[in-house]
Structure 1
Amino acid sequence: MRGLKVLPSGRPGRGRLYVNRPDGRAVAWYDRQANRISVLADDEREAVLAALRPYLTGAWTIGPPPVPTAVELRRLSLPPDRDLAPNRPGETLLGELAYGSPGSRARHRMRQELQARERTGAELEVLEAADWRVLHDVPLPGLGLLDHLLIGPPGVLAVRTVPGRRQRAQVGELLLTVGRAEPRPDPRWIRRAAARAARVLAAPVTPALALADASRVDVAPTLRDVLVLQPPTLTTTLRAVPATLKPPDVEALFALARTGPAWL
């Protein structure tokens, strides 16, 4: 069958590869961890193999899929253009820098924001090897974009990235200040974003601020409801948080969170 497309279930190199018809419906998937191809229709086996051949490695197997779980059924019915999982850190900023025409000062600020999100995103994606899941640029109508949504054994975190610019950062209950710049309302914003995410996912969501490239971070002792993270100790900090979710719970929340219309 012609027109089959191979699309990743997340960022390139991670997760499954799905083989879709032109209308977006999946006909097969390749689980790179198990090195197995699951084909939904046996008469399409050769076409699926031809589409996947450039991606196959080692001694792979092929056959009918196991009985799909509810999470897999949700993923199979999700059109690619509504799937948030392939988003890169700072996806929207990448588009604005490539196709927009901001002034020089705005462009410099956007590059700082992009570098901070890319660094934080790369740190968070390291956790995917330990059964965590992460999404980038999650739309929150009325609030803008949530930089990162992290789902793992300790629970769900809504993460806003702040460029530290190699300066001292002070985080209070309501405002955040980097160097001598004007205070920013990031603590208040991330609380609202986490509350919105909690309503969508029907699960507790912890608000978190990630200070990228700050020379020093001072946190007010009264700030207890917002988690403050700082690369490169970010992953170490998160791995130390006690687990509250089992792997099936993580996958179920991720399946819902990656669905774009759920946030609208």
Structure 2
Amino acid sequence: MASRGLKVLPSGRPGRGRLYVNLPDGRAVAWYDRRANRISVLADERREEILTVLRPYLTGNVSIGPPPVPTAADLLRLALPSDEDLAPNRPGEALLGEITHGSAGTRARHRLRHELAARQRMGEVLDALAESEDWRVLHSIAGVADHLVIGPPGVFCVHTVQGRRQRAVAGDLLLTVGRTETRPDPRTSRRAAAYATRALSATVTPVLAVVDATRLDVTPTLRDVRVLTPATATAFLTRSSTTLKPPDVEALFTTARDRRTWH
């Protein structure tokens, strides 16, 4: 939404988290914290304009005032241009464009729709986890991850696979879906996590998420890549040992959401 040149942009998925009020050049003049129900104003001379543009989003008794002393992560986030921010990405963002505007044939589009459904299903599970203040999730980091999950147990780079309602077998190097389709997904997961580890300067765990398989078997020797399903992901992530404090989670999320981090 825009008013008098001001734009309201979400900091993550629409409907949760912060809403930022930005100038046309992308600089923030205020933000509305939905959880705290508070508007932090950076440009007091624009207070009335800020209230006007935020009014459709406000609920209950909202406090307004200068922002709290910003953390380093806050300063980086405020300086992030909106077109470099990956936080609003939807699950399967690239596939949506390819299906809608690409030149793939009918069979290829059918395959892409199944892959998109798998990413969206896994995205729903992870987004539900991110309703907690302890977790942050990014989707569709091009060339790196279908989903990146950051929380108390660490950072997880998730590669999603469509099981096509067949038996799937995950080995050290290959994933077999059905009787004939063999794919290098475990190796893809390792490479993506290794790249993310370098980009974020933090340990990133590779995760292979298999969606819609009728049965999933994992070779006992496959230990470095976590193999999950939508039904097991939340339990695994929430029961893992804590390694990151909330400021660490927020700092890593701020770095990860910047598209330039992954160039």
Query: Does the pair score TM above 0.5?
Result: yes
Please report the TM-score for the alignment, with normalisation by the length of structure 2: 0.97
Task: After TM superposition, give the deviation of residue 232 of structure 1 in Å.
Answer: 1.8
Task: After TM superposition, give the deviation of residue 168 of structure 1 in Å.
Answer: 0.5
Partner Cα separation in structure 2 for residue 185 and residue 239 of structure 1: 28
Please give the per-residue CA displacement for 1:45-73, whole angstroms capped at 9, x wherever unaligned. 00000100000011101111111111010
Bigger shift: residues 230-239 or 83-92: 230-239
Q: Does residue 41 of structure 2 align to residue 7 of structure 1?
A: no
1:134 to 129, 134, 137: 137
Task: After TM superposition, give the deviation of residue 97 of structure 1 in Å.
Answer: 1.2
Aligned partner letter, 1:189: T
Bigger shift: residues 202-211 or 93-102: 93-102
1:252 corresponds in structure 2 to 251
1:58 to 57, 60, 83: 60
Partner Cα separation in structure 2 for residue 253 and residue 242 of structure 1: 18
Partner Cα separation in structure 2 for residue 167 and residue 231 of structure 1: 16
Equivalences for 1:219-230 in 2 at 5 Å? Answer: 219-230=218-229
What are structure 2's unaligned runs of at least 5 residues?
A: none
Task: After TM superposition, give the deviation of residue 129 of structure 1 in Å.
Answer: 2.4
**Partner of 1:165: helix, strand, or coil?**
coil
Equivalences for 1:177-196 in 2 at 5 Å? Answer: 177-196=176-195
**Partner of 1:250: helix, strand, or coil?**
helix
1:40 to 39, 42, 65: 42
Partner Cα separation in structure 2 for residue 126 and residue 56 of structure 1: 22
Task: After TM superposition, give the deviation of residue 145 of structure 1 in Å.
Answer: 4.1
**Partner of 1:148: helix, strand, or coil?**
strand
Please report the TM-score for the alignment, with normalisation by the length of structure 1: 0.96
Bigger shift: residues 232-241 or 101-110: 232-241
2:104 corresponds in structure 1 to 102
Please give the per-residue CA displacement for 1:195-239, whole angstroms capped at 9, x wherever unaligned. 000001111010010000111100000001000001122211211
Partner Cα separation in structure 2 for residue 199 and residue 100 of structure 1: 32
Name the Cα RMSD after superposition. 1.0
1:263 corresponds in structure 2 to 262
Partner Cα separation in structure 1 for residue 121 and residue 103 of structure 2: 24
Equivalences for 1:68-147 in 2 at 5 Å? Answer: 68-130=70-132, 131-139=134-142, 144-147=143-146
Task: After TM superposition, give the deviation of residue 182 of structure 1 in Å.
Answer: 2.2
**Partner of 1:5: helix, strand, or coil?**
strand
Partner Cα separation in structure 2 for residue 247 and residue 187 of structure 1: 30
Task: After TM superposition, give the deviation of residue 89 of structure 1 in Å.
Answer: 0.2
**Partner of 1:71: helix, strand, or coil?**
helix
Instruction: Indicate conservation of the 8 Å contact 2:144/2:195, yes or no.
Output: no
Q: Paired residues, what number?
A: 260
Task: After TM superposition, give the deviation of residue 180 of structure 1 in Å.
Answer: 2.3
Partner Cα separation in structure 1 for residue 50 and residue 100 of structure 2: 34
Instruction: Indicate conservation of the 8 Å contact 2:190/2:225, yes or no.
Output: yes
1:233 corresponds in structure 2 to 232
Partner Cα separation in structure 2 for residue 174 and residue 233 of structure 1: 22
What are structure 1's unaligned runs of at least 5 residues?
A: none
Please give the per-residue CA displacement for 1:77-107, whole angstroms capped at 9, x wherever unaligned. 0001000000000001111111223101100
Percent identity between matched residues is 68
Instruction: Indicate conservation of the 8 Å contact 2:144/2:196, yes or no.
Output: no
2:212 corresponds in structure 1 to 213
Task: After TM superposition, give the deviation of residue 181 of structure 1 in Å.
Answer: 3.4
